[in-house]
Amino acid sequence: MIYFLSDAHLGSLAIERSWAKQKKLIEMLEMMSKDAASIYMLGDMFDFWLEYFIHDPKKREFSPLCKKLRELTKRGIHIHFFTGNHDMWTFGGLAQMTGAEIHYEPCTIIRYGKTLYLAHGDGLLPSDWQQLYPKSVQKQIKRFIRLRKIFQNPTCQLLYRCLPPKLGNKFGYAWAKRSRLKEFAHPCPYKGEDKEELVLFAKDQEKQRNHRDFYIFGHRHIELDLQIASGSRVIILGDCFKQWTYAKLDHHGNLTMHNYEQ
């Protein structure tokens, strides 16, 4: 079996009893490990993760999860960690702590006879997005793209890593908290097949003859299993702090969505 999950946002200052969420996530991973060949974590597992040049005591908070991932890799389970927009700032430390393979970009894999496109989902847009969206939405997208470029800029990353962890974490977790509270106050449900950016991205890929059987994303905190006209299925995984949803691909190439709480 191959499992897919995303968006735990561990350490969030906006989520109550974050330590309990980590414990539950570890239990969920242990459940998966009973028949898992691989586990794909598609981003934002942490609400803020950045590796500084000096020791960061805050990382001890996540030792239980990191130890569990290390244990699973030693048991022969392949752990794949995709960086999200909240935990993209890993520079080898997370891989060393967990044994996971880190993916900084989307990738396409073939498993059990099926082709899967895997990505966190932030920043993925159809090639004609400027024609699809009104100017007000275009401005928001352009603002996000500019911000993402700053976050991914090597010089900006270098300078931030020079900060004392206490100061860097204070700013990083506060920024993440503001984002989470904004989401809680104004949730964005599924926009519909003709407006949901990740669905439009998948359709655009199919239009360009980049066929995949499954497109699997995180990021949006909604649960979606949608078959589009090409026959491909678009999967948005939900999250692991409210919905506790995940996907499973069996040896016959059948992909199903599940809820851990059930």
Angle of the 154-161 helix axis to the 135-152 helix axis, nearest 10: 60
Domain housing 72: 2-259
Say which residue the tokens 């003709």 belong to. Answer: 194
- Quote the number of domains for the chain: 1
pTM: 0.94
CA 91 → CA 108, 161, 183, distances in Å? 23, 10, 28
| pLDDT at 256 > cutoff 80 | yes
The pLDDT tens digits for 50-64 are: 999 999 999 999 999
Output helix, strand, coil percentages for the chain, rounded to the nearest 5: 40, 20, 40
Banded model confidence at residue 137, pLDDT cuts 50, 70, 90: confident
Query: What is residue 133's predicted lDDT score, i.e. its pLDDT?
Result: 78
The pLDDT tens digits for 40-52 are: 999 999 999 999 9
The pLDDT tens digits for 150-193 are: 999 999 999 999 999 999 999 999 999 988 888 888 888 999 99
The helix or strand, by DSSP H or E, that contains position 157, with its residue range, turns out to be helix 154-161
The pLDDT tens digits for 204-227 are: 999 998 899 999 999 999 999 999
| pLDDT at 87 > cutoff 80 | yes
Sheet with 2-5: list strands edge to edge.
Answer: 101-103, 78-82, 38-41, 2-5, 245-249, 255-259
| pLDDT at 262 > cutoff 80 | no
Query: What is residue 19's predicted lDDT score, i.e. its pLDDT?
Result: 81
CATH of the domain at 247: 3.60.21.10
Overall average pLDDT of the 64-73 stretch = 97
Taking a C-beta distance cutoff of 8 angstroms, is the pair 106, 218 a contact? no
